[in-house]
Amino acid sequence: MKTYKYLFLLIGLSIIGCSDLEEEPVGLLAPESFFTSVDDIQTAVNGSYGHMMHRYFVSREMSMPLMLRSDMVDLNPNGQGAERVQFNDVNLLADNASIEQYWPKIYQIIGAANEAIAGAKLVDADDAIKNPIVAQAHFARAFAYFHLVRQFGDVPYLDEPVTDLQAASTVTRTPAEEVYANIIADLEFAEEWLPNTQKARSIPAKSAAQSYLALVYLTRGEFQQAYNYAKEVIDNEGTYNLGLDPDFQNLYNENEDASLEPIFVIDFIGMTASDDSDQGMNYQGPYTGIRNDDQYGLGGGWSVEIPSMAVYDTWDDRDYRKEVSFDDTAVFDGVEVSYEHFTDVSVGGYANGVDRPHIAKYNRRNGNLYAGGNGRGSEQNYMMMRYAEVLLIAAEALNEVSPGSAEAHGYVNRIRERARNGGVANNFTSSTFPEDVSGLSQDDFRTMVLEERRIELAFEFKRWYDIARRKLGSEVFSASGLEGEKPTFDANRDYLFPIPVNEIVRNPNLTQNPGY
């Protein structure tokens, strides 16, 4: 009996657990305890950059709408999703799927920046040591809000980590003016603390802050300020280690990390996350590439975003930048085929493609070991700001404050000269086009510089913002526009996108933009 009693006791008592039920997570990070060193601030800023690498931000849900919305990129008319058609036709609905995906992602960039800025306060280090890192977060936050304010106007503005869900969930839209003031304040902080150079262009340096300040002021029509900041960058070209790349094609190479021209890029390295393959996946290659095309060994693109014929036809053939920007031939089954036959199935084309030249900037030189899968594995970075744009900002702004200056003409001519010099693309040696400009009136110069931006920065997500800030809609969407008439364009509605309808349901204090 005793044996059994022992057994009994053994089973009955020794196995009774007793716990205080406190959770002690392993491998989980709490904001209160995470920030202990300056490196931790950088890790949090890297979170901001990481969110930028997502499909929902730069590689798809931001870039595709901005391109389709402009007059530079048209949509393949054959069987495209409603969210794309709406952007291309200037006919947005408030439940547009791209906007629904983009909206939370850009706020996650901001959330990560806010976390880094707040976390830095917990780190015991001199401002001189930590502020250069914190400044990156201010830059990232300004970068994100600058996109938001241009797309949506007034937006919810949060500048610290959310701890009170209820309060944060009921905010109203902050007026665009105030958002701009905050963007400028963030960029000024970044300008003050960021170093002259960084180890890579995917980390903002002082030049990035100043360039964005220039673009922000340009967008607001405060041309003197825009000019001043652009000039600051140009004057420090050497200090900031900047310059125009001698060959325009080099900007769209997988190894453009070495170029001096980029000022701020979003880095892609051909890898994706195991729990979310859209984190790090590069989509502009497939969307702009030619379906069935073998020429880059990528398995062909998807023939979705295709410029109208007018964009190609009106672009002077002598312009080297046209060579770099377009693919007018493809290779089907080993045979080179001109764009007129892209849909010819008898030569291996794709019936539901489009017989037009396709964008080459995202495919031609992204060819690396892993760039297959239609180019989704491309390591090509996304150019957010490059030195050529700074020159064009300086030129445009200066023309507004003191028209007719040789200086303004000179900035444009630097860019034109580079174009004339040609480069490796299609063995384009050199050209007499585009000629230097001189002696233009203020109006002519303004028209010229906007055109120069359209050409030089083609397919780099800049054009729609130019149309919106210069209110060119009724002109570019008229019958004489590059894509023909877009009858649904409404100037009172269409310079802003709709706030996602589900977000207004979640926070009824948010209002909708007019007309949606």
Partner 1 sequence: MKNKVKLVSAFFLTCLFLTTAVVNAQERSITGKVTSSDDGMPLPGVNISVKGSTIGTSTDFDGLYSIDVPSDDAVLVYSFIGFLSQEVPVGTQTEINVILQADQNELDEVVVVGYGSQRKSDITGAVSSVKSDELNAFPVANAEQALQGRAAGVVVQSNNGGEPGAPISIKIRGNTSINASSAPLIVVDGFVGAAMPQANDIESMEILKDASATAIYGSRGSNGVVMVTTKKGKSGRLAIEVNSNYSIQNTADKLDLLNADEFAAYQQSINSGYVQGSADTDWQDLLYKSGNTQNHQFSFSGGSDKINFYASTNYFKQDGVIINSEYEKISFLSNIDAQVTDKLKLGLNLTGSRADKDGVPTQSTGSNGVNGGGDDVVSLMFRFMPDLGIYDDNGNYTTNTIGDNIDNPYAIANEAIDETKTDRFRANLYANYDILENLSFKTTFGYSTINETVGYFRPSTLIVTAGGVGGRAGIDNRRSTNVLSENYLTYKTEIGKGNLTLLAGYSYQKTTTERFSTGATGFISDSFSYYNLGGSEVTIIPSSSITEQEIQSQFGRLNYDYDDKYLLTATVRRDGASNFAKNEKYAIFPSAAIGWKISKESFLEDSETISNLKLRASYGVTGNQAINPYESFSKLSTLFSAIDGQVVGAVVPDQAANPDLKWESSYQTNLGLDLGLFNNKISLSLDYYNIDTKDLLLADASQPEYLGFLTLASIRNVGEINNKGFEIGLNTRNISTDNFSWTTDFNWSTNKNEVVSLINGIDVFLDASPGYFSVSRTHVLREGEAAGVFWGYDYQGVYQGGALPAGTATLAGAQAGDPLFSDLDNSGVITTDDQKIIGDPNPDWTMGFTNTFRYKNLDLNIFFQGAYGGDVFNLTNVQLYNGDSNALKDVLNSWTPTNTDTDIPRAVANRGREISSRFVEDGSYLRLKNIALGYNFSEDIVEKLGIDNLRLSVSAQNLLTFTNYSGLDPEVSYFGSGGESSGESNTTQGFDFGNYPTIKSVNFSLNLRF
Continuous segment of H or E residues that includes residue 143: helix 127-152
For partner 1, the closer CB: 16 or 128: 16
For partner 1, the closer CB: 296 or 387: 296
For partner 1, the closer CB: 181 or 200: 200
For partner 1, the closer CB: 276 or 417: 276
Q: Smallest distance, Å, CB 325 to partner 1?
A: 23
DSSP calls for 322-334: HHHHEE-EEEETT
CA 372 distance to own-chain centroid? 22
For partner 1, the closer CB: 51 or 138: 51
For partner 1, the closer CB: 217 or 264: 264
For partner 1, the closer CB: 74 or 400: 74
The SS3 assignment for 430 reads coil
Q: Smallest distance, Å, CB 85 to partner 1?
A: 7
CA distance 184 to 111: 18
How far apart, in Å, do the first and last CA atoms of the chain sit?
A: 84
Q: Smallest distance, Å, CB 202 to partner 1?
A: 5
CA distance 76 to 83: 13
CA distance 87 to 81: 11
Q: Which residues of 504-513 are buried (b: 16+ CB within 10 A; e: fewer)?
A: beeeeebeeb
For partner 1, the closer CB: 207 or 325: 207
Q: Smallest distance, Å, CB 273 to partner 1?
A: 4
> What residues does 164 pair with on adjacent strands?
none
CA distance 228 to 244: 20
Q: Smallest distance, Å, CB 20 to partner 1?
A: 9
Q: Smallest distance, Å, CB 55 to partner 1?
A: 9
For partner 1, the closer CB: 302 or 320: 302
> What residues does 338 pair with on adjacent strands?
329
Question: Could you tell me if 396 and 450 are in contact, meaning their C-beta atoms sit under 8 angstroms apart?
Answer: yes
For partner 1, the closer CB: 224 or 502: 502
Q: Smallest distance, Å, CB 272 to partner 1?
A: 6
Q: Smallest distance, Å, CB 48 to partner 1?
A: 8
CA-nearest of 428, 392, 380 to 259 is 380
For partner 1, the closer CB: 83 or 456: 83
For partner 1, the closer CB: 224 or 335: 335
Which residues have a Cβ under 8 Å from the Cβ of 469 and sit 6 or more positions away?
150, 218, 219, 221
Question: Could you tell me if 423 and 320 are in contact, meaning their C-beta atoms sit under 8 angstroms apart?
Answer: yes
Give me the phi and psi of 385, to 5 degrees please.
-150, 130
CA-nearest of 58, 90, 67, 144 to 495 is 90
CA distance 307 to 455: 13
Q: Smallest distance, Å, CB 185 to partner 1?
A: 19
Question: Could you tell me if 278 and 55 are in contact, meaning their C-beta atoms sit under 8 angstroms apart?
Answer: yes
Q: Give the pairing type, strands 305-306 and 326-327.
A: unpaired
Q: Smallest distance, Å, CB 379 to partner 1?
A: 7
- For residue 6, give both structure tokens: 């022992």
For partner 1, the closer CB: 95 or 222: 95
Q: Give the pairing type, strands 74-75 and 305-306.
A: antiparallel
Q: Smallest distance, Å, CB 43 to partner 1?
A: 5
Q: Smallest distance, Å, CB 103 to partner 1?
A: 6
List Cβ<8 Å contacts ≥24 apart for 119-122: 119/31, 119/34, 119/35, 119/40, 119/41, 119/44, 120/35, 120/41, 122/32, 122/35, 122/36
Q: Smallest distance, Å, CB 471 to partner 1?
A: 22
Question: Could you tell me if 99 and 498 are in contact, meaning their C-beta atoms sit under 8 angstroms apart?
Answer: yes
Which residues have a Cβ under 8 Å from the Cβ of 176 and sit 6 or more positions away?
149, 153, 154, 155
